[in-house]
Structures are given as C-alpha cells and as structure tokens.
Amino acid sequence: MARHTVYTIATDLGISPSTVSKIINHTGHFSDDLRKRVLDHIKSIGYVPATSARVLRSRKTWTIGVIYLEESHIGLEHPFFSGILQSFKDEVEKKGYDLTFIVKQVGTNEMSYLNWCINKKIDGVLIVVGSHNNPEVIELVESDIPCISTDVMREHLHTIISDNDQGIRLSVEHAIEIGRTNIGMVSGPLTAKHFLYRFQKLKEVMNEQGIPYHEENMISTKGFGYTSGYEAATELLNRTSRRPDMLLVGSDLLAFGVIHAIEDLGYIVPKDIAVIGYDDISFARMSKPSLSTIRQNIEEIGKIAAEKLLDMIEKGLKNETKLTRIPVELVVRDSTKTQ
Amino acid sequence: MARHTVYTIATDLGISPSTVSKIINHTGHFSDDLRKRVLDHIKSIGYVPATSARVLRSRKTWTIGVIYLEESHIGLEHPFFSGILQSFKDEVEKKGYDLTFIVKQVGTNEMSYLNWCINKKIDGVLIVVGSHNNPEVIELVESDIPCISTDVMREHLHTIISDNDQGIRLSVEHAIEIGRTNIGMVSGPLTAKHFLYRFQKLKEVMNEQGIPYHEENMISTKGFGYTSGYEAATELLNRTSRRPDMLLVGSDLLAFGVIHAIEDLGYIVPKDIAVIGYDDISFARMSKPSLSTIRQNIEEIGKIAAEKLLDMIEKGLKNETKLTRIPVELVVRDSTKTQ
DNA sequence: TTGTATGCGTTATCAC
DNA sequence: GTGATAACGCATACAA
C-alpha cells in the first residue's frame, strides 16, 4: 500500500512522468513495447490515479449527483423511485460513472445545490424527486450543468417519464371492457404536475368515449403514502352522491390505502368498486386482492435517463426542454376482475 | 458564477490567500473584525472551496462509500436496506459528510473495493449488504479505512444489527401466548450468517421453554424475495409429517410469500397456521391478513452506524471486532391473532 | 516517440 | 495576528 504516483512509477521504469500519464490516458503515440511495460507495472503494483489531482487538473469527476428528496417526504424506501435510481445506477456504472447524493453542505458550510455541484465539479445531475418550483432546482437546471429528470418537468430540462396519456387511456379502456363507466380518480398530490396532467387527460378521454365525468368522484391526496390514499378514498366515498364503480388511483401505494378504505366502508373490491393503480411495484401482485395497475417501465426510464445524461455530458450539450415518454402497460389482476 | 479562489478573495480584500484559508478552516487566530469581513465576503459571492484541491492537499474527502449490492440480488428496492441507508444518510449529512456508492471502476479502469477507496480517499465505508466471505470486502475491512456494517459480521468489523436473540425469544413467547407450540421456521438464505444464527437461537429457546424442535419444520430459502418464501413454504408444508401451527419467517417479504403458499395449499392464516415476519416493512400493515412481525429499528440501526463510523473517522480509530445489538419489538397484527 | 516545465486551488510550514 | 512559499499528484503545452 505504499503510495504510488506517476513520479514513482516513472522512476521505477526509468522514464518520465508525463509518459506514464499519457499512456494511462491513451493520449499520444508510444511503442507497443513501452506501453505494455507501463501498463503491466501499473497493474502489478495496483496503482490508480488520484482522483482529486486528476479532477483538479482536468475538471472531470466521473461523478453524477442525485437530487433525491425534497419537501415531499419520499425517501429511498419508495419502491418506484428507488427502482429508477437502481436502474440508472447500473447504467452509469457501466460507463465508469459514479453516483453521489446531492446535499446542501460540504464540510460545515451550507450551500445551494448549484454551488454544491460547481464545488464538487459534478459532471451531471439526475433529479429523481424534486419539485418543479424549488428555486434551487431551477437555478441548477438553468445552469451549465447537464441535468436530467425522471420526475420534475420544466423549461430547459429533459424529462424521462411514463406515457401518461397512454396510461389513462389504457385504464379507461379497461374500465369500459369490464363494463364500468362510472369512473372516479384518486390522484396523488397536485403539487406534482403529472398528477394534474392525468386529471385533464382523464376528462379528455372520458369525453372522447362519451362517458360522463363527475367532478365529485375526483379527488387528490395530500401525500404519497398508504394513509393518504385511505383518507382520500374515504372522503370521496362519503361525499359522493353517485358512487363510482371504478377508481383510477395515482400510485399503487395509494391504491392499497384506497382498497382498504373501500373495504372498511363495507364495499367489496372489485365487485362493488374496481381499483386500478399505477406503477406496478412488486407488492401489487402480493396484495389481496392483487392489484391491477399500469406498469411503468422503471428500468427503461432509469436506463434512458442515464443514456441521455451521459450523452449530454460527453458531447457538452446544454440543457433543453424535452420530454421523452416511455410506454406503459396494462396489468390486469384481481382488483378489476369481474365475474 | 465567476470562478472564485482563495486568491481572488485575497485580492478583493487586500489580504493574503493563506489568511483566507485559515479563516475558512478555523485555524489560527485573527481579529474578529478581519474574520467577519472575510466570512461576509465569502458568503456574499457564494464562494466555496474547491473540493478536489482541498482533498489533494489535506487528504480528507468528507465522503463515505457505501457497499450496497453483492451477489445477493437485493437492490435499492428492498425496503429494509434502503431504510437503513436513508437513516444513515440523514445522520452523516448533518455532520457534513456525503455518500457515494462504491463501484469497481473509476473512469475506465476496473479495480478492487480497497483500491477504489484509496483512490477516492474515502473517509469511511458503510457495508449495508455484503457477503461475509467476499475477498474484496475482507480486504477492505482489514485495511486502515474505517468500516461499519449493518449486515455482514466479521473479524475486525463493527456491526450494528438487531438483537436477534431477543427477536427469536419474542416470537417464541408470542407463539406460546397464543397457544401455538408446533413451531416451524422459514429462514432466509444461510449465506447470511444471522439467518444461521437465528436457527440456532430458535433451537435454544425452544429447548429452554420445553418445546420440541422438529428439523422437518425448518427450512431456509434460496433468495430474499416473495417467490423464495412461497417456494420454501410450499416445500416445507408438502414434506412435513407434523404440520406446524406457527411459522417464524426470516423477513416480511418472505412472509408474504409464505402466507400465500399456505393459503394456496388450502390452509387459513392464522387459524391453521399463524405467521410472524421480521422487519416490519411498511407493507406489513397493508397486507391481508396484516402481518405480525418483529420490528427492527431501522432508523436506529442507521443512526448508530453513522455515529460509530464518524467517531472512528474523526478519532482515527482502527477497525475492531464488535457487535452492537439494537433492540427489536414485537408487533402483533392479524397473522397471529387467534380467536 | 519521449521528456521538461508549469499550473490546477488548496492547506501547511515557516517566517515576520 | 498576518503573510510568503512550498507541496499535494496529475495532465498538458511545448520542447527535443
């Protein structure tokens, strides 16, 4: 574990430090013989360039920052987001990049996301969970640092997200298929744009299909968790004058709460009210009744996000407003099985 | 966003760079006046020291590496492990440390965990999921880099883990309480030492309590997931000649599989067979029947791990064999409710 | 094809 | 109390 540097290696081999450096970085032309000698020696002593020096000099860190949690108290525990993160991680690792969580202090100084990134010379940023009007996130997106999002949608930001149009459409078509046209929706918090968007889309699709849209059967939750779903569904069912026979829910997690609320009110899923979730987290198939849902292609979202971000980093592209939609898939399970 | 350095700041203020540095780092003695002037100016221009240069010079990175996934295909999605990670992260962030996943390449060179850490000058390592006989993990643990584990147990490693003795004891006592003494166990894979340990402990406790221990009612799973639990339970119930009336399961995730296997074989939980899990992940209370379980204090495990590791880092302590047990708690839900 | 000199931005050492 | 200077380990422009 003696400290090796390009200097010690150069001395060992009787050559110059810059030769070592160039061979390591595949720059310049050298005899195959010399190259082999250097590479072999490096491998045998287990040398690896000191990142800090390399970064200081060349301004590339091979590091991607992750903005993970915001006001919304979703943590790493959330299966959907952690799934995306996992897939993203797998992809960037292949290319030699490394992930780090963006926090707002270095050592003991508080600082903004942007400053943090500049300071750490982060190559790029993944926004997994953010909020579209957080000033610090905006500042970051408007900067020269390549950003990609799998959540927030904004100007000057490329967002990779499920095709929500298709998701809503599939849900409604499925409802019609099983003969349910009194459709309601329990959406996630409207602070997230795509929940808002899904409401609009639902209205649109129902119109197209000639199904009446009743405002009283639409509700949005306060939070992202089970309890939020439970509470919203209870409220909806208690207040409505025309009980829906099908509920579209913003996420599987919420859907579990919704189902239990329905059951606690004495109704049966799916006989009285069918329920379809969104996400297809692993527990969807383990619950009783198992949950029909719109499967988001988490792996693909993470993978595409990684590809796009690395592309921006490597080609030095600037952030631009863009939306990439990843197809979703209808998964029919017991919560919408009628007969 | 002009580049600031200690030099530009020094020039701005008409003082010397080293003075700036010392004030930032709280070293040396300066007039309150000067200190205030420097600090104010720094804040106003949003300056922050360049980490790479700082690291290059001072050999401290304020960065902790996380070893997360190994042969076992548990990803970030696993609620138990991601919960620990979250809690650990919250704690170290408070102290200004920052997390990064340990991967085996930097740029384009493959390397061992140890080399990676040396190269990145990582201050310490958290092993959330590893395997106790992975040579690279061993190498790391035996090095000078402070390590802490919430999973692997080994020589020269401090492990923070739930009090499994207590967990088994609580489970068995609960079984007795509800009048179930034909106890079986579906453990997780024995490649993880603590599952092995829990078997031994179960035998011990059952002996103490004068309950017969039947080898045929004990089984370990192949993996960590739902399906593994389902398969193991199916096998156990098909082969045993004295069907257990209570099953202790290695994790909640496995337990869901176990319960469904039981039900698919035509038995009722908890009437015929009561089931108790381990972990208390959030879905435990959402499932039907809701799952009785041994709650691991995830938050505490992560927090203590963080504290201990930072302590080692800051005091320059060496790795030592140690086991810190965090108390667990019995949570009774429907899967063990009889009457 | 190989070597020399310099600077990246800090902090540590020593001097004043 | 404050400042000058060297060194951390590397990559690059330039020289040979």
* pLDDT in the model for residue A267: 97
**Is residue A304 scored above 50 in pLDDT?**
yes
Enter the tokens of residue A79. Answer: 């299966």
* pLDDT in the model for residue A207: 96
Per-chain mean pLDDT for chain B: 89
CB B61 within 8 A of CB B122: yes
The answer on A142 and A87 residing in a single domain is yes
* pLDDT in the model for residue B191: 81
Give A89's contacts in chain B (Cβ within 8 Å).
Answer: 76, 101
* pLDDT in the model for residue B109: 60
Q: How many CB pairs under 8 A join A and B?
A: 147
The answer on B176 and B118 residing in a single domain is no
CA distance to partner chain A, nearest, from residue B209 (Å): 35
**Is residue B207 scored above 80 in pLDDT?**
yes
The answer to the question of residue A57 being in a domain is no
The answer to the question of residue A53 being in a domain is no
**Beta-carbon separation of B100 and A98 below 8 A:** yes
Residue at shortest CA–C1' distance from D9: A53
**Beta-carbon separation of B107 and A96 below 8 A:** yes
**Beta-carbon separation of B82 and A86 below 8 A:** no
Mean pLDDT for the stretch of residues A34-45 = 87
Rounded Cα distance between A194 and A251, Å, is 12
Mean pLDDT for the stretch of residues B21-35 = 88
Number of domains composing chain B: 3
Mean pLDDT for the stretch of residues A175-188 = 96
Residue B212: pLDDT band (50, 70, 90) is very high
The answer on B81 and B172 residing in a single domain is no
Q: Output B259 or B60, whichever has higher pLDDT.
A: B259
Rounded Cα distance between B333 and A80, Å, is 26
Percent of chain A with pLDDT over 90: 54
**Nearest-CB residue to A119 (from B48, B56, B77):** B48
Q: Which parts of the protein come within 7 Å of strand D, by CB position?
A: A 3-7, 17-18, 21-22, 24-25, 27, 49-50, 53-54, 56-58; B 14-19, 22, 28-31, 34, 53, 56-57
Chain A, residues 277-316, CB within 8 A of chain B, namely 282-283, 286-288
Does residue A98 belong to the interface with chain B, where contact is any CB pair within 8 Å?
Answer: yes
Give B285's contacts in chain A (Cβ within 8 Å).
Answer: 226
Residue B120 lies in domain: 63-162+299-326
Chain B, residues 123-182, CB within 8 A of chain A, namely 143
Residue B186 phi, psi (nearest 5): -115, 100
The answer on B242 and B273 residing in a single domain is yes
The answer to the question of residue A179 being in a domain is yes
Q: Mind listing the pLDDT tens digit for each residue in A306-335?
A: 999 999 998 888 899 999 999 999 999 999
Enter the tokens of residue B82. Answer: 């991601």
The answer on B247 and B182 residing in a single domain is yes
- The single-letter code of the amino acid at B95 is K
**Nearest-CB residue to B83 (from A50, A77, A225):** A77
The answer on B130 and B23 residing in a single domain is no
The answer on A214 and A282 residing in a single domain is yes
**Is residue A148 scored above 50 in pLDDT?**
yes
**Beta-carbon separation of B287 and A282 below 8 A:** no
Q: Mind listing the pLDDT tens digit for each residue in B113-139?
A: 887 888 788 899 999 877 777 888 898
Enter the tokens of residue B321. Answer: 């064999």
Mean pLDDT for the stretch of residues A152-165 = 93
CA distance to partner chain A, nearest, from residue B204 (Å): 33
Percent of chain B with pLDDT over 90: 53
DSSP readout, A139-173?
Answer: HHHTSSS-EEESS---TT-EEEEE-HHHHHHHHHH
The answer on B156 and B258 residing in a single domain is no
Rounded Cα distance between A337 and A275, Å, is 10
CATH number at residue B322: 3.40.50.2300
Percent of chain A with pLDDT over 70: 94
Enter the tokens of residue A265. Answer: 């009110």
The answer on A230 and A198 residing in a single domain is yes
The answer to the question of residue B57 being in a domain is no
CATH number at residue B28: 1.10.260
Q: Mind listing the pLDDT tens digit for each residue in B174-197?
A: 999 999 999 999 999 988 888 888
The answer to the question of residue B259 being in a domain is yes
The answer on B176 and B280 residing in a single domain is yes
Mean pLDDT for the stretch of residues B295-319 = 93
By mean pLDDT, which of A148-162, A253-267, A275-289, B56-70 is the weakest?
A: B56-70
By mean pLDDT, which of A248-252, B91-95, B266-270, B300-304 is the weakest?
A: B91-95
**Is residue A171 scored above 50 in pLDDT?**
yes
**Beta-carbon separation of A76 and B85 below 8 A:** yes
* pLDDT in the model for residue A337: 94
* pLDDT in the model for residue B1: 46
The answer to the question of residue A52 being in a domain is no
Task: Find the angle CA(A108)-CA(A113)-CA(A118) to the nearest 5 degrees.
Answer: 85
* pLDDT in the model for residue B332: 98
Per-chain mean pLDDT for chain A: 89
Mention every residue, 6+ apart, whose C-beta is less than 8 A from residue A26. Answer: none
The answer on A260 and A198 residing in a single domain is yes
Q: Output B53 or B79, whichever has higher pLDDT.
A: B53
Measured in whole angstroms, how far is the alpha carbon of residue B145 from the centre of its chain?
A: 18
**Order of strands across the sheet that contains A246-249:** A218-220, A183-187, A246-249, A274-279, A292-295, A329-331
Rounded Cα distance between B212 and B283, Å, is 32
* Distance from residue A68's CA to nucleotide C9's C1', rounded to whole Å: 30
The answer to the question of residue A54 being in a domain is no
Give A44's contacts in chain B (Cβ within 8 Å).
Answer: none
**Nearest-CB residue to B103 (from A93, A143, A287):** A93
The answer on A216 and A110 residing in a single domain is no
The answer to the question of residue A56 being in a domain is no
* pLDDT in the model for residue A1: 45
Does residue B82 belong to the interface with chain A, where contact is any CB pair within 8 Å?
Answer: yes
* pLDDT in the model for residue A106: 57
For residue B148, the cross-strand partners are B126, B158
Q: Mind listing the pLDDT tens digit for each residue in B225-276?
A: 899 999 999 999 999 999 999 999 999 999 999 999 999 999 999 999 999 9
Mention every residue, 6+ apart, whose C-beta is less than 8 A from residue A61. Answer: A51, A55, A120, A121, A122, A123, B52
Chain C bases closer than 7 angstroms to a protein Cβ: 1-5, 7-13
- Global pTM reads 0.83
Rounded Cα distance between A132 and A198, Å, is 17
Q: Mind listing the pLDDT tens digit for each residue in A1-12?
A: 457 889 988 988
Highest mean pLDDT among A42-46, A157-161, B81-85: A157-161
Q: Mind listing the pLDDT tens digit for each residue in A79-121?
A: 788 889 889 998 998 888 888 888 766 555 567 788 888 878 8
Nucleotide with the nearest C1' to B31 CA: D1
